[in-house]
Amino acid sequence: MGPLIPNEIIAGNWNFLIAFVIGIGFGFVLEQAGFSSSRKLAGMFYGYDTVVLKVFFTGAITAMLGLLFFSLFDWIDLSLVYVNPTFLWSAIIGGVIMGLGFITAGFCPGTSVCAAAIGKIDAMIFIVGIFLGIFIFGESFPLLQNLFVAGDMGSPKLNQVLGISGGVLALLVILAAAIMFWIGEWAERKFPREEY
Amino acid sequence: MKPRNLAVGIMILLGIVIAMVPENTTKPFKLTAQQMLNAVNDGTEMVHPDLLADWLINKDPSIQLIDVRSSDEFEKFHLDQAINVPRADILSPDYREIWDQGVKFNVIYSNGSTTAHDAWMILRQLGYQNIGVLMGGLNYWTEVVMNPKSPAAILPDDEIAKYEFRKGASQALGGGSASAPATSAEIEVQKPKIVPRKAKKAPQGGC
């Protein structure tokens, strides 16, 4: 049956409307989880608040289990689901830059928009920074191009690389998440911080 | 029990379930046997040489010719602009982009139409829709378009017009000298399969 648009069950024009609804839902969840507070996000790095880890991992696990069960019930053809290609060096360097921005500013791109929407000035400045970064990257792309495409690994899935089935990997990820949540809450007790 | 502990327990339980069930390799075939039979009965995939000649002369950019014979045969002779995808390699990921696109109409041909039809059947079952088969293959193409026979003078005008078109097409597409190196085995099998032109004539005469 699914995915709906590649299988032409609904027209491709629905893409934007669906993205719009999901985007609003995503923003709502970010705000509800308290992610428009940069202190909460920074708490992840200092250990006094690990809700970021918990929310994102719960989201990932829910989607992962959902897709696997949908595939099991023949509701979705996973081979038609787009998997972002892996460019190893881009991913590593981009991850470092993103992490630096995350800890220095206290936002990631999505949460900055949430925070700007509730009127936080630092978030608005952060968004200006995002566009500045995009502009610099765009203008210097010819210089960065080789690095950008270096380490092209295609679109491998972790379970294929490890040679195990998707279901076993899912179980391992769930167990890893449960352990991380437990460690996270231990850290919250260990490094408490009041009034943030 | 705290709700979140319950949630963790449910997640782990679901994880165990999904780890134990066999991985669903969702059926690659998109058409059921009945749908496939209907498609074969309809025969709408057949492209008559006249129609193909018309497309080629008009340089229709949406037409892509695919030669599914072996690369040796392809080297010896092939239609202009054709791409060689030997039948054995049609499922190779290298050629996936040829089939998996919604822009061009692929016309598959071989010497007769058996090889081309084999490829068409498999590809059609995989869900690719924009595929046609050159009716009668290169043999029929040579007979109809490259070396057209002049019709008897008593035939109706449209028959003569068709002949004129074929003669023109033959010149435009480098006919006359072209001869498809058909393997004898396939010709024998194929000759009876060539869809008789009568079928096309009947409605034309009637109108």
Helix (H) or strand (E) holding B63: strand B63-67
State pLDDT tens for residues B143-168.
888 888 777 666 677 777 888 888 88
Q: Determine the 3-state secondary structure of B188 from DSSP.
A: helix
**Residue B185: band (very low, low, confident or very high) from pLDDT cuts 50, 70, 90:** very low
Report residue A120 as tokens.
Answer: 């936080």
Domains of chain B in start order, with CATH, are 33-142 (3.40.250.10)
* Nearest chain B Cα distance for residue A183, angstroms: 14
Instruction: Report whether B15 contacts A176 (CB < 8 A).
Output: no
Using CB atoms, pick whichever of B8, B19, B26 lies closest to residue A170.
B19
Of A50, A171, A175, A182, which to mutate for an interface test with B (greatest number of B Cβ within 10 Å)? Answer: A171
Domain count, chain A: 1
Highest mean pLDDT, choosing among A172-176, B35-39, B57-61, B100-104: A172-176
Q: How far apart are CA A114 and CA A30, in angstroms?
A: 7
Q: How far apart are CA A171 and CA A130, in angstroms?
A: 36
Q: Is residue A186 part of a domain?
A: yes
> At residue B14, does pLDDT exceed 60?
yes
Q: Is residue A195 part of a domain?
A: no
- Which residue of chain B comes nearest to A164, CA vs CA? B19
Whether residue B16 lies within 8 A of chain A, CB to CB, comes out as yes
Q: How many helices (H) and strands (E) does chain B have?
A: 10, 5
State pLDDT tens for residues A122-146.
999 999 999 999 999 999 999 988 8
Q: Is residue A6 part of a domain?
A: no
Q: Is residue A1 part of a domain?
A: no
Q: Do A165 and B12 touch (CB under 8 A)?
A: no
Q: What is the mean pLDDT of chain B?
A: 78
Task: Please report the sign of the dihedral spanned by the C-alpha atoms of residue B13, residue B16, residue B20, residue B24.
Answer: positive
A177 against B199, higher pLDDT = A177
State pLDDT tens for residues A31-90.
988 888 888 888 888 888 888 888 889 999 999 999 999 988 888 888 788 888 889 999
Mean pLDDT value across residues B188-195: 38
| R_g over Cα of chain A | 19
The mean-pLDDT minimum among A69-73, A108-112, B26-30, B125-129 falls in B26-30
Instruction: Please give the model's pTM, rounded to 2 decimal places.
Output: 0.57
> At residue B193, does pLDDT exceed 60?
no
> At residue B206, does pLDDT exceed 60?
no
Q: Is residue A196 part of a domain?
A: no
Sheet holding B63-67, edge to edge: B46-47, B131-134, B105-109, B63-67, B83-84
- What is the span of the domain harbouring residue A30? 12-190
Using CB atoms, pick whichever of B12, B18, B24 lies closest to residue A175.
B12
Question: B165-169 long-range contacts, Cβ below 8 Å, gap at least 24?
Answer: B165/B50, B165/B53, B165/B54, B166/B50, B166/B53, B168/B57, B169/B50, B169/B53, B169/B54, B169/B56, B169/B57, B169/B145
Contacts with A, B 166-185, CB within 8 Å:
none
Using CB atoms, pick whichever of A76, A79, A167 lies closest to residue B19.
A167
Q: Is residue A4 part of a domain?
A: no
* Chain B residues touching A68 at Cβ < 8 A: 18
Contacts with B, A 82-111, CB within 8 Å:
none
Whether residue B153 lies within 8 A of chain A, CB to CB, comes out as no
Using CB atoms, pick whichever of A74, A170, A177 lies closest to residue B18.
A170
